[in-house]
Amino acid sequence: MNYKDSEQEAKWRTEVSQFLTAEAPEEYRVHHKPAVDSYGSGDETFQAWRKAVGRKGWLASHWPKEYGGASLSVMEQFIMKEEFALARVPHPGGRAVEMVGPTIILHGNDQQKSELLPPILSGEHIYCQGFSEPQAGSDLAAVQLRAVRQGDDYILNGQKIWTSNATTCNWMFLLARTDPDAPKHRGISYFVTPVDVPGLTVRTIEDMAGGHELCEAFFDDVRIPATYRIGEENRGWYVAMTTLDFERSGIAGAVGVQLSLLDLIQILKQNGTGSHRRTELAEYYIESCVAREMSYHVADLQNRGLVPNYEASMVKLFSSELSRRVATASVGTLGLPGTLLKGSKGYEVQEGRIARYYSGSIPSTIAGGTSEVQRGIIATRGLGLPRG
C-alpha cells in the first residue's frame, strides 16, 4: 500500500487539523485534559465540543448525508480519527453515533429511523452497550437475557454486566435471547430501550482505579415494545455484527500509545533521568510506529472494499499490549509519583495522567475482545492453524 496521502487526502487532513486548532477546547488540545465521563454526565466542555463538531457536520462522519451524516469515505474517516488523536482531542460521537446509528440505518425500518436517529445526532439519546453477561463475554453468542414476546411487547428477564456508563446513559442497545431452542447464534434479537423503564435496575461496579463507569444491569419483567427490535427476530447476532463493519483500524489507540510514550520521554528529559532505559524506550517507539503502520494497513484494506478480520485483531492485540508495556515502563521509570492520581498534593506526575494511563492500559487488553481471543483469531484465520 501507499502510506503517503494523496493530494486530496492531504487537503482533507489540513482541513481537519485547522478546524481542531481553531475550535477544539484548550483543555484537550493544550492541557491534555482527558475526556472522562463523556457519556451523558453533563461535562460542559465535552457537550460544547460535541455541538461544535455537530455544527461542522462531522459528528456522524460515516453516516449517509440523508440521515444527517457526512458520508465520509473510510480513508477520510481514518484521517479524521488520526488527526483528532494526534491533537489529543476526543471525537465526541460515542457509541450512539459509532455503533447504534449505523445499525439502525442498515437494519431499521422507516419508523425507527425517523424516531431514533435524530435524538442520537442531537445528543439527546446517549447509549450504553448491553452485550456482555456473567456467562457471555468472549463467547458473546451465549447471551441468556431472555426476551419473550407478549402481544406488542417483549418481556425481558436476566442480567447484563460490564455495561460501561449505564448510570449516565439514558438508552441501551442490547442482545437478548428470543429463541432458546435455536442454535445459539440464531436465537438472539437486537433491541434498543430507554434505561429508565420499570424493572431495569443499574448498579455500578468499582474498578481497580476507583472509577465507577462499569455497571451491571438487572432486568426484572422489563417491557420493551416490539417496535424497538432492530432487524428480524432471531437475527440479532448478524445485526450486531454489521455494526462492526465501519472503519475499525484502531488508529486512535495506536496514536495514543505513541503520544503517551513521547510524554514519558519528555518528562525524563526534563528530570534528566531514565537514561538506563534508553534502549527499551527506543524499542517501544519503534513498536508504536509499527502499530500505526498496522492501522494504516487495515484502513487501506477497508478503503479498497475488503473486510479485515485477523488484521484488525493484530492491531487490537499489538496496540493494547504495547500500551500495557509503555504504561508499566512509565510507572517503573517514574517510581511512586507515577502511580499517584490528580489531587495527590502535587506529588503526582502530569496531573495524574501517568497513573490513569497505567490503570486504563490493563482493561484495554480485555475490553472489545481479550488478547487471547485476538491471538486465536490470528492463529486460525491469519495463520490457518487448526482450532485447539
Q: Which residues are catalytic?
A: 247
* Backbone CA torsion sign across 65, 67, 70, 72: negative
Q: Which is nearer to ligand FAD, 162 or 190 (CB)?
A: 162
Q: Interaction with ligand FAD in 144-183: which residues (CB under 6 A)?
A: 162-164
Within 13 Å of residue 251, how many CA atoms lie on the same side as its CB?
26
Q: Is 339 in the site for ligand FAD (CB under 6 A)?
A: no
Using CB under 6 A as the binding rule, whether residue 204 contacts ligand FAD is answered as: no
Segment interacting with ligand FAD, rule: CB under 6 A, options 20-28, 44-52, 82-90, 127-135: 127-135
Secondary structure element (H or E) that encloses residue 105, with its range: helix 101-107
Write out the three cell numbers for 126.
446517549
Nearer to ligand FAD, 344 or 370 (CB): 370
Q: Nearest distance from residue 172's CB to ligand FAD, in Å?
A: 9
Using CB under 6 A, pick the residue from 52, 259, 290, 373 that binds ligand FAD. 373
Taking the alpha carbons at both ends of the chain, their separation in whole angstroms is: 33
Q: Does 70 bind ligand FAD (CB under 6 A)?
A: no
Task: Please report which helix (H) or strand (E) contains residue 216, including its range.
Answer: strand 215-225
Note whether 259 binds ligand FAD by CB under 6 A: no
**What is d(CA 144, CA 146) in angstroms, rounded to the nearest whole number?**
6
Sign for the pseudo-dihedral over CA of 324, 137, 296, 84: negative
According to CB under 6 A, which one of 238, 370, 379, 380 is a site residue for ligand FAD?
370
Cα(312)–Cα(318) distance, integer angstroms: 10
Choose the binding region for ligand FAD from 11-19, 305-313, 330-338, 361-369 (rule: CB under 6 A): 361-369
- CB 95, min distance to ligand FAD, A: 8
Spell out, one character per residue from 85 to 124, where the chain touches ligand FAD: x when CB under 6 A holds, - when not.
Answer: ----------------------------------------
Could you say which of 131, 171, 219, 358 contacts ligand FAD (CB under 6 A)?
131
Contact call for residue 226 and ligand FAD (CB under 6 A): no
CB of 68 to ligand FAD, least distance (A): 25
358 makes contact with ligand FAD (CB under 6 A)? no
- Residue 359 lies near ligand FAD (rule: CB under 6 A): no
The residue nearest ligand FAD at its CB is: 137
Pick from 303, 363, 380, 382: which binds ligand FAD (CB under 6 A)?
Answer: 363
User: In a 10 Å sphere around its CB, with 0-12 CB exposed, 13-18 middle and 19+ buried, how is residue 18 labelled?
Assistant: exposed
**Grid coordinates standing for 135?**
456467562
Three-state secondary structure call for residue 292: helix
Contact at 8 Å (CB) between 90 and 99?
no
Under the criterion CB under 6 A, does residue 367 sit at the interface with ligand FAD? Answer: yes
Cell of 313: 485483531
Nearer Cβ to ligand FAD, position 221 or 372? 372
Least Å distance between CB 232 and ligand FAD? 22
- Cα angle 179, 107, 174 (rounded to 5 degrees) comes to 50
Report which of 387, 371, 284 is spatially closest to residue 326, judged by C-alpha positions. Answer: 284
At 174, the amino acid letter reads: L
**Strand runs labelled E in 101-210:** 127-130, 146-150, 153-161, 171-177, 188-194, 200-204
Secondary structure of residue 50 in the 3-state scheme: helix
Question: Does the footprint of ligand FAD cover residue 376 (CB under 6 A)?
Answer: yes
Total residues contacting ligand FAD by CB under 6 A comes to 18
Which residues sit at the interface with ligand FAD, rule CB under 6 A? Answer: 128-132, 137-138, 162-164, 363, 366-367, 369-370, 372-373, 376
